Amino acid sequence: MEVNPVRSNQSKIDAEMSKTFRTSNGVNEIIHILKNPSKNDIELITRAFEFARQAHKDQKRFSNEPYFIHPFETAKTLSHLQLGAKMIAAGLLHDVYEDTGVTEKEIKKEFGEEIAFLIEGATKLGTLKYRGIERQIENLRKMFLAMAKDIRVVLIKLADRLHNMKTLQYVPKEKQIRIAKETLEIYAPLASRLGMGEIKGQLEDLAFPYVYPEKYKKVMEAIKGKYEEKEKKLSKVRHEIEKELKKNNIQPVKIDSRVKHIYSLFKKLQRPEVNMNINNVYDLIALRILVETVEECYKILGIIHTLWKPLPGRIKDYIAVSKPNGYQSIHTTIFATEGEITEIQIRTEKMHEEAEHGIAAHWAYTESGKPDEGGKFHPHLAWVNQLIEWQKSISQSKDFLETLRIDFFKDRVFCFTPKGDVIDLPEGATAIDFAYAVHTEIGNTAIGAMVNNKFVSLDSVLKNGDIVEIKTQKNKKPSMEWLGHTKTSFARKQIKSARRLLPD
């Protein structure tokens, strides 16, 4: 909890707080963000607002602002995510157990068991710090166990972290890099896995200049003037599309442009095919078309391709096959007006909401944020259960970190079985990883693979959208050499296990 140890004159703070946060003004700011809040919702948020404001009234942040600004901004983020009155109340109250003298018993009495539980979970996660690999791993284990218990706790923590990153310049220098690294390596990938694209992008961009200051400067230098230039060219493309859609009696909900996040751009510039050349990045600004139905998405794709030629291999249909985190959209890259290469994204309003806010938008797990009675999450969160199971069998901290970074937080590719089932793998995964992901026995007896109807070796690296069929041979056993060609810890574990159990 970021509280300035130096306390100012009480009356002066009260005056500031009164001026900055009158209860009615502050609550109204939150309420106006929500869609159709009930009287009970407004009453709960108002009580939580006033309770937290009083609890933090004699505290300040490193910026010398009233501390209450932080829980207020956390609650506003939760409001934008439309997570409901209980979550917003918990966001307002998430720091009251630390340094305020407020007890869990008081919160239970005033706000009930559920909100007390959410605050307790957020408080525990708030004590986690990125200090050395051993401590880091133990903290991560605690975080994922908290997720398995009730994922809403982690959503509060993401909202909390977002505001802390926005005010990181006021934190003592020695803490800045530690907090930024933790954000870049843990919180941003976590937001990504939860499908929360907007929060993930903001967290990465806020951490980037602290973790890689020189690289940040180079990227900012490379894009100088590029956005303005691209916007001018995009306006012509947009005009052409609007004219053509009108002819076809299609009324889009919205057409706007999406500016690529700075850290995402930095990662793209590092790809071999881009070779640090900003002119090879075609989606610096992408045109985004929002419509009401899936049918309209495909109609618009056809219209665009009659206007301009698409780049081969650059049409991605994430509606038919969504990304592992639930992302849905159609992407196409075209040779537009005057040969300008432009990316266009087409999706429904609902898909857009889910792309921006992920698991928070469609609230795909139960209303309580917990697994169902069978202990399972929605398919998009199945990896949480998988991670919990895997960490039980991983005793070494370094092994757990490796599993986390590669199996869960690395960029994903998804491939298909011949029957069309999607296999979700980390970038750089091979046919060996695919075989074990399908079934341990298929992995153990694999002799080769058919990728897109071509026979390849098992060490072949797979790409997004590959159709993979594993060829097996009875009584075959895996080779220890395979360990050098696997990306997933699951495949490595199974190979080692099979070699121990099977006779030479």
Which residues, at least 6 apart from 504, have a Cβ–Cβ distance to it below 8 Å? none
Question: What's the Cα-to-Cα distance from 178 to each of 16, 211, 450, rounded to whole Å?
Answer: 31, 9, 45
User: Catalytic annotation on 411?
Assistant: no
Per annotation, catalytic residue among 99, 240, 242, 317: 99
Report long-range pairs for 454-457 (Cβ below 8 Å, ≥24 apart): 456/431, 457/431
User: Cα(15)–Cα(207) distance, rounded to whole angstroms?
Assistant: 34
User: Cα(387)–Cα(287) distance, rounded to whole angstroms?
Assistant: 36
Cα 39 off chain centre by: 32
User: Catalytic annotation on 98?
Assistant: yes
Q: What is the DSSP letter of 285?
A: E
Helices vs strands, H then E, count in the chain: 23, 11
Per annotation, catalytic residue among 14, 98, 138, 372: 98
Cα 322 off chain centre by: 15
Question: What's the Cα-to-Cα distance from 141 to each of 144, 329, 473, rounded to whole Å?
Answer: 5, 33, 39
Please say whether the dihedral angle defined by the alpha carbons of residues 482, 483, 485 and 489, taken in this order, is positive or negative. Answer: positive
Please say whether the dihedral angle defined by the alpha carbons of residues 391, 397, 399 and 402, taken in this order, is positive or negative. Answer: positive
Catalytic residue list: 98-99
